[in-house]
């Protein structure tokens, strides 16, 4: 099984340790991992901002770069959701048949559904509050959305339960948006900041030491709030916990 690792632009620049943890985890689980060098960005931020056409050449490039792998895996639910949901339609504009949308996975999804991981070696003796990101929940279905009357589940919590010592908590308003939303965070900065503050408060109220989740973009947004207000909580991507000790 050959996996192409996709490290989204902001993870690459701001959270490279998340990329490293992803690689170590996949390698530990016996997966052959390759990192195609010419990758850049999936184009989501432009598209969500209203400039989907600007994402089309990026989509084509992405698809060509990753089509040779059995799976494409990325530590970012939101970027994965964008590729999965929008690439086939975007690439149609270029008469290009999308190859990657069917085989791209968020890393949690990949570990849970494809590798069906049932043990992990690490320990993480801390209390964490899980951030259920909008696109992770409502597009990739990493957990049951709070609005829907369907059986409750959470792939992220299932995976975390494999790590020794971790105490998993969830905030009130369990999957309310943190207010990032790409360009929304600058266009509607007042509302976005308010949403971020409210979300962080709910996470802090759980008594957790860390906020963790499958989307670095949400974590980055909330970290901005926490840094500004000097609030007592830290951030860690869920992959870093899953890769503890590797």
Partner 1 sequence: MSTKHTKAAERFLSDKQQETWHNETLWFVREKRDRMAFSLPEWEDLREMANKIKMHTITHLDKYLDQFSEKAEANGVIVHWAKDAAEHNQIVLDILHGLNAKKMVKSKSMLTEECHLNDFLISHGIDVIESDLGERILQLKGEMPSHIVLPAIHLKRQQVGELFEDKLHTEKGNSDPTYLTRAARQHLRNEFLTADVGMTGCNFGVAETGDVVVCTNEGNADMGTSMPKVHIVSMGLEKIVPTVQSLGVFTRLLARSATGQPSTTYTSHFRKPVDGGQMHYIIVDNGRSDILGNKEHIQTLKCIRCGACMNTCPVYRRSGGFSYTYFIPGPIGINLGMLRHPKEYSDNVSACSLCYSCNNVCPVKIDLADQIYRWRQNLDSYGKADPLKKTMSAGLKFLFERPGLYNFALKFAPLVNHMPHFMVYNGLNEWGKGRELPRFAKESFTSMWKSGKVKPKK
Residues numbered 122 to 151 that lie near partner 1 (CB under 8 A) are 134-135, 138-139, 145-150
The residue range among 15-23, 93-101, 153-161, 206-214 that interacts with partner 1, by the rule CB under 8 A, is 15-23
Q: Which is nearer to partner 1, 14 or 167 (CB)?
A: 14
User: For residues 12 and 169, which CB has a smaller minimum distance to partner 1 in the complex?
Assistant: 12
Residue 169 CB, shortest distance to partner 1, in Å, is 20
Which of the stretches 40-48, 91-99, 115-123, 202-210 binds partner 1 when contact is defined by CB under 8 A? 40-48
Least CB distance to partner 1 at residue 213 (A): 14
Burial class (CB in 10 A: 0-12, 13-18, 19+), 27: middle
What's the min distance (Å) between Cβ of 175 and partner 1?
8
Q: Which stretch binds partner 1 (CB under 8 A): 22-30, 94-102, 122-130, 161-169?
A: 22-30
What is the Cα–Cα distance from 213 to 136, expressed in whole angstroms?
A: 9
Among 3, 4, 31, 45, binds partner 1 (CB under 8 A): 45
Site string for partner 1, 195-214 (x = CB under 8 A): xxxx----------------
Round to whole Å and give the CA distance between 41 and 222. Answer: 22
The span from the CA of 79 to the CA of 19, in Å, is 14
DSSP for 96-158? Answer: ---SSTTTEEEHHHIIIIIS-------B--SEEEEE--HHHHHTS-SB--TTS-S---BHHHH
> Shortest distance, CB of residue 167 to partner 1, whole angstroms?
26
Q: Which two tokens stand for residue 51?
A: 């400039």
| Contacts of residue 129, Cβ cutoff 8 Å, sequence gap at least 6 | 169, 170, 171, 203, 204, 206, 208, 210, 211, 212, 233
Of 48-67, which residues contact partner 1 (CB under 8 A)? 48-55, 57-58, 61
94 binds partner 1 (CB under 8 A): no
């Amino acid at each position: 099984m050959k996996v192409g690792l996709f490290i989204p632009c902001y993870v690459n620049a701001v959270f490279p340790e998340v990329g490293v943890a992803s690689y170590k985890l996949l390698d530990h689980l016996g997966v052959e991992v390759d990192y195609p060098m010419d990758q850049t960005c999936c184009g989501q931020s432009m598209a969500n901002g209203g400039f989907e056409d600007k994402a089309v050449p990026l989509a084509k490039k992405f698809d060509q770069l990753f089509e040779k792998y059995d799976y494409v895996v990325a530590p970012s639910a939101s970027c994965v959701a964008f590729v999965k949901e929008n690439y086939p339609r975007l690439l149609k504009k270029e008469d290009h048949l999308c190859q990657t949308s069917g085989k791209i996975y968020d890393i949690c999804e990949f570990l849970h559904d494809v590798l069906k991981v049932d043990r992990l070696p690490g320990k993480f003796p801390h209390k964490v509050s899980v951030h259920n990101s909008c696109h992770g929940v409502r597009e990739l279905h990493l957990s049951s959305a709070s609005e829907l009357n369907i059986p409750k589940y959470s792939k992220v919590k299932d995976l975390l339960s494999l790590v020794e010592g971790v105490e998993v908590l969830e905030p009130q308003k369990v999957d309310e948006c943190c207010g990032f939303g790409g360009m929304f965070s600058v266009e509607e900065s007042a509302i976005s900041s308010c949403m971020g503050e409210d979300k962080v408060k709910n996470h802090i109220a759980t008594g957790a030491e860390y906020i963790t989740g499958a989307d670095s973009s949400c974590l980055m947004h909330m970290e901005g709030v926490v840094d500004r207000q000097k609030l007592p909580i830290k951030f860690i991507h869920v992959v870093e916990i899953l890769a503890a000790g590797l």
